[in-house]
Amino acid sequence: MTDNAIIENRAEEVPFSYVLSELLETNVKQNPHKLKTFQGLYGVVGIDLKDIEAAVTLVFSGGKARIEQGIVGRPDIIIKTDSDKVIGLNSISIKFGLPYYFDEAGMTVLRQILSGEIKVQGMFAHPVILTKLTKIMSVM
């Protein structure tokens, strides 16, 4: 982990929290653009995984992230889906600094959002948080 990025996992009881923590840490360490985005991300994102009956809250505060067990407080964005679809969100490409939804991975995510397989509460109220989250979580 870099000195500028701290990811604290307080949700050890939720195995999926380790996947998120590792993904964040790896992406931020290996990509200067993602580190810069991470340092500018302020907001709270809840992830509710219906299939494994688990939930976590990611609290971003400019170069630091904390993962809490359950949906804590009033997140800016809440993503409700199955665990495999959250992983699918990480395959979205980034082009010109924005998520790119016009390739196969992007179209799959759009179809899942439109069909209700992925529900994103707050996506219109907090598009900047969602865009930054997508950028730092994307493995592309």
**All structural domains of the chain with their residue ranges:** 6-137
Residues 84-137: tens digit of each pLDDT:
898 778 888 888 878 888 999 999 999 999 999 999 999 999 999 999 999 999
User: pTM for this one?
Assistant: 0.91
Q: What is the CATH number of domain 6-137?
A: 3.30.1050.10
d(CA 10, CA 70): 10
Residues 1-46: tens digit of each pLDDT:
444 458 999 999 999 999 999 999 999 999 999 999 999 999 999 9
Amino acid 114 reads L
d(CA 23, CA 133): 12
Q: What is the pLDDT of residue 2?
A: 42
How far CA 22 is from CA of 27, 38, 108, 132, in Å, comes to 8, 14, 24, 18
